[in-house]
Structure 1
Amino acid sequence: MLVTPVSPGGLVSEVVALVLARPGRLRVVVDGPSPTRPDVLAHGVLAELRARGRGGVVIDAGDYLRPASVRLEYGREDPDELLDGWLDQGGLRREVLDPAGPGGTGRVLPRLWDARTDRAFRDDYTQLSDDGVVLLHGALLLGRGLPAELEIHLRMSAAALARTLPGSAQWTLPAHARYDRERRPADGVDLLVMSDHPDRPAVVRR
């Protein structure tokens, strides 16, 4: 195993190269806890792809949470429920991942549920081109059976995560620990990135 330091821009280029090597529509999962900034990577990749003539859409998993009455049934700070019950996997598959997959219509919904107001967004659907790319970003996404052609995991050690998560999010640490222990997100992904210091990532080459 070889660990190669890269710049944030170099990491974008690594992901873009993986995407460009695959024709047709593509579903990419960019998984990592919020301090690793998976959103920044996803948007950077899409900007570079557009510059190269390949379009797509960035999807925030936080816009596909279940209604508060369901996800907060056991309280607002239940780490097990965060891992197992917050994400609306069915809605994400129905509105994004299945339509973007082989044989799908290419018609995807960028946002479904506004967790802040606890009501549905009123977004219009986006039509992907035949080579359009969906970049789904968020935390705790792998090991759920979500269909994707590329999976990227931004890995942060438990110590670094505890140090960088704000106080209001410290209750999520047991969910991340259980995620690493049970779902082993670093195993079998297409790109593993060590992200204890997000400004100085390192790509793991097996």
Structure 2
Amino acid sequence: METKPIEPVSRAEGLSWLVSRIRPRAGRTMVAIDGVDGAGKTTFAGDLAAELTDSGLTVIRISLDNFLNPAEVRHAQGRTSPEGFIADTYDYERFVDDVLEPLGSEGCGRYRSKSYDFGTETPLTPPWQVAPDAAVVVVDGLFLHRDRLRNARGRKVWDLSVWLDVPAEESVRRLAERDGSPSDVDDPRIRRYVEGQRLYIERYRPAERADLVIDNSR
């Protein structure tokens, strides 16, 4: 694979770059779409999946938001804890067992796409699904470049990964527009999330770990 672009690219350029590198690959390909809240991860992942499907590829869409921990685990360090937001939001054990291992290049292909329903705060055990030997697995979510999602050799588990670059102020503005949350990045009511994501960026440097950085601020 060619060296990744040095500077962030546009959304259109990023889609083209990814499709051109995914199409020639054999077997299963794992692609991560990472970014802060409001970066546009789900939308971009959907657009990429559509482009790949139009190219004749089989695509499996997974969202890490469907692998949450129960509320008592998510808030074990307090409802305002940025560290707790990073450490306790997601059930990585289920995510690895149900998605990463079975859908990896050497996995059995027997996977589940979700383990938790946030709306009802209910654990889920849906029927197993079976992926074809040749498929592209597109995963969107927060914190996808953290150390916990690296293999025994310390390398990321993704065949390709993306960091959607969006300033914190724009992220908060989008969330306020979408969810009615506070629009001020310094509002204490959203400190857990804003500071947690700042800690993630400082600690794990996802833009450096990603294969592609896309300017998704517009």
TM over 0.5: yes
**1:59 Cα deviation (Å)?**
0.8
Q: Which has the higher strand share?
A: 1
In structure 1, how many angstroms separate the alpha carbons of the residues matched to 2:200 and 2:8? 25
Alpha-carbon displacement from aligned partner over 1:174-199 (angstroms, at most 9, x marks no partner) = 011111111111113111112222xx
For 2:159, the equivalent position in structure 1 comes to 149
Using the size of structure 2 for normalisation, the TM-score is 0.81
Matches within 5 A, 1:39-54: 39-54=42-57
For 2:38, the equivalent position in structure 1 comes to 35
* Equivalent residues of 1:13, 1:45 under 8 A apart: no
Matches within 5 A, 1:81-160: 81-146=84-149, 147-160=157-170
- Give the direction of change, closer, same or farther, for the CA distance of 1:155–1:5 in structure 2 (3 Å limit): closer
Q: Structure 2: which 5+ residue stretches go unaligned?
A: 150-156, 183-188
In structure 1, how many angstroms separate the alpha carbons of the residues matched to 2:8 and 2:35? 19
**1:122 Cα deviation (Å)?**
4.8
For 2:153, the equivalent position in structure 1 comes to none
For 1:79, the equivalent position in structure 2 comes to 82
* Percent of residue pairs bearing the same amino acid type: 25
- Opposite residue 195 of structure 1, the aligned amino acid is N
- Give the direction of change, closer, same or farther, for the CA distance of 1:107–1:165 in structure 2 (3 Å limit): same
In structure 2, how many angstroms separate the alpha carbons of the residues matched to 1:19 and 1:138? 20
- Opposite residue 68 of structure 1, the aligned amino acid is A
In structure 2, how many angstroms separate the alpha carbons of the residues matched to 1:154 and 1:4? 9
CA RMSD of aligned residues (A): 2.1
* Equivalent residues of 1:28, 1:150 under 8 A apart: yes
* Equivalent residues of 1:42, 1:136 under 8 A apart: yes
In structure 1, how many angstroms separate the alpha carbons of the residues matched to 2:45 and 2:54? 14
For 2:20, the equivalent position in structure 1 comes to 17
Q: Which moved more, 1:164-173 or 1:36-45?
A: 164-173
* Equivalent residues of 2:37, 2:171 under 8 A apart: no
In structure 2, how many angstroms separate the alpha carbons of the residues matched to 1:176 and 1:4? 19
For 1:183, the equivalent position in structure 2 comes to 204
> What is the total number of aligned residue pairs between the two structures?
196
3-state SS of paired residue (1:36):
coil
Using the size of structure 1 for normalisation, the TM-score is 0.85
3-state SS of paired residue (1:99):
helix
* Equivalent residues of 2:8, 2:215 under 8 A apart: no
In structure 1, how many angstroms separate the alpha carbons of the residues matched to 2:73 and 2:9? 42
**1:170 Cα deviation (Å)?**
2.7
Matched, 1:170 2:190: yes
In structure 1, how many angstroms separate the alpha carbons of the residues matched to 2:8 and 2:69? 38
For 1:63, the equivalent position in structure 2 comes to 66
- Opposite residue 155 of structure 1, the aligned amino acid is D
Q: Structure 1: which 5+ residue stretches go unaligned?
A: 198-206
* Equivalent residues of 1:97, 1:148 under 8 A apart: no
